[in-house]
Structure 1
């Protein structure tokens, strides 16, 4: 089972189990100067100024950033940025600030422990690869401290209050937005919060508009997908819980909704009153009630498709019977939407969405 599947299950179990799963999840992660207005500062993943990226900052420093664990003061435009979890390094890089350190992707990463979309942007700006550290045993405070960062970004994360306090002793730390559940922050909000911390708010808004315009263009190019109902989840005959369906708290349904698709009413109704649940479980005996036009599911092997179709219960899911099931087996494809960022989503539009659109446009 992938770490992202575990993350999605966190809110679908009882509170004691949920706490244990959150701890497990933390161990699996990476399994990811202004004066009078503005000025220009050098930022980068290396101390060599020849490889640093010059970016213009907006607004004034010092500034105070509000997040889930209170307020953090940032006295100067950050030059040395370290990140935790997924997404945050993508956003920093997309805003022109090359991190000095980020977690190695143990899930969904390429051979270098990064992602194809991060590497492409890094090459585009001429930056050097950040220091990669493992988060398989939790947030790597020792590795982060060694980098001497002047800000630590965790706008998309599941950091606890205790972890926040520990990181704050190293450098000013930005947690997820106030009111967000762990790993439930939309990519737009992560981008805005990090943009504010880096003095790149104007660029953050431009970046959000650019990515949303690309998504809208794909939707316009495929009008047949508009109104298509979907279930985005995990279906696995060999799993203890054979069916999970992700809710609107998760980035996957949010993304398909941006393309003009509609969360299946059966899932919306099942998650009513559970605003912090990433997923709902479903009994295989009621599989035929999971009515939707398409089903998108993650599987560890392509063989799972045949197993689902042959299963006497799971094979009765309407989208499976209709041949409109998309089985994702590439971890990087899964990561690009699950941990959505302004770098990963354009990549997903080219590498993931075509299969989803093909299923949606079937007659």
Structure 2
């Protein structure tokens, strides 16, 4: 986070390239955001009147200038030289704020909305605790979980802070990764896997992002169908529009969605 920036008191016209999922719970709707963010299903409705400022990581400076912002929020250091010429700009690089509590607390203090942050987090904690209690009752504590993505004949495995379900599974629900994931993936957060080693990183349960395949297609696949998680109906497949996001609103919704699946018929 870059400091020594004069932040306006109670800014009214914020352009946010990142962290919108922490602004909405505070009752703060930006005037501009990247097009990809506006497509986020978890807060698409709240952003209907927000101006598209262009591509994430390469926002359109002219569009932003026309919005007359009094504060710009980004996670991209490369954007700072351009954006800071338009309005006071805060850079919070991805990964510096590790969870919903850190995000809401930081932005609550930044925007003078500490009470709104505390109130929202209290409700968040209540709902997360309810989901966790439900899962803890149904799933043994020693069960292992893997977060994966299958795309274009390539498979990736993820840690606890890179979307795809890592935050809800490992952080919110407190579930364990396989030893290989804990030892090799958690620090760097992701890795590409060859077909030969997928089984090495596959836990008792697999949360898998795929835009083109279903549970049934993985079951009929010789490689995937041989994995215990797949054979035992412990594979959850969802599309990237639901799994990629990792903001507090998304994590809360994802946690409850996964908790419902994990406790179904148990």
CA deviations 1:300-340 (Å, max 9, x no partner) are 1244x4443333333333212222111113x43224xx322
1:345 aligns with 2:251: yes
Counterparts in 2 of 1:194 and 1:118: CA distance versus 1, 3 Å: farther
Alignment length, in residue pairs?
Answer: 262
* Aligned with 2:16 (options 76, 83, 88): 83
1:134 aligns with 2:54: yes
Q: Which residue of 1 aligns with 2:242?
A: 333
1:165 aligns with 2:68: no
Normalising by structure 2, report the TM-score.
Answer: 0.84
Deviation at 1:354, TM superposition (A): 2.1
CA deviations 1:236-275 (Å, max 9, x no partner) are 5x42xx3211012324323212213222222112226xx3
SS of alignment partner, residue 74 of structure 1: coil
Alpha-carbon contact 1:326-1:356 (below 8 Å) kept: no
Q: Which residue of 2 aligns with 1:32?
A: none
1:233 aligns with 2:144: no
CA distance in structure 2 between the aligned counterparts of 1:137 and 1:345, rounded to whole angstroms: 22
Q: Which residue of 1 aligns with 2:155?
A: 243
* Aligned with 2:220 (options 310, 322, 325): 310
CA distance in structure 2 between the aligned counterparts of 1:129 and 1:255, rounded to whole angstroms: 29
CA distance in structure 1 between the aligned counterparts of 2:155 and 2:120, rounded to whole angstroms: 36
CA distance in structure 2 between the aligned counterparts of 1:259 and 1:226, rounded to whole angstroms: 12
1:93 aligns with 2:24: yes
CA deviations 1:254-299 (Å, max 9, x no partner) are 3212213222222112226xx3x22123332233333422101111
SS of alignment partner, residue 180 of structure 2: helix
Normalising by structure 1, report the TM-score.
Answer: 0.64
1:193 aligns with 2:106: yes
Deviation at 1:152, TM superposition (A): 1.0
CA deviations 1:124-169 (Å, max 9, x no partner) are xxx9722233316722222222111111122xx3x02x31121111
C-alpha RMSD over aligned residues: 2.8
CA distance in structure 2 between the aligned counterparts of 1:287 and 1:148, rounded to whole angstroms: 50
Alpha-carbon contact 1:298-1:334 (below 8 Å) kept: yes
Counterparts in 2 of 1:114 and 1:313: CA distance versus 1, 3 Å: closer
* Aligned with 2:5 (options 54, 72, 89): 72
SS of alignment partner, residue 73 of structure 1: coil
Deviation at 1:352, TM superposition (A): 4.9
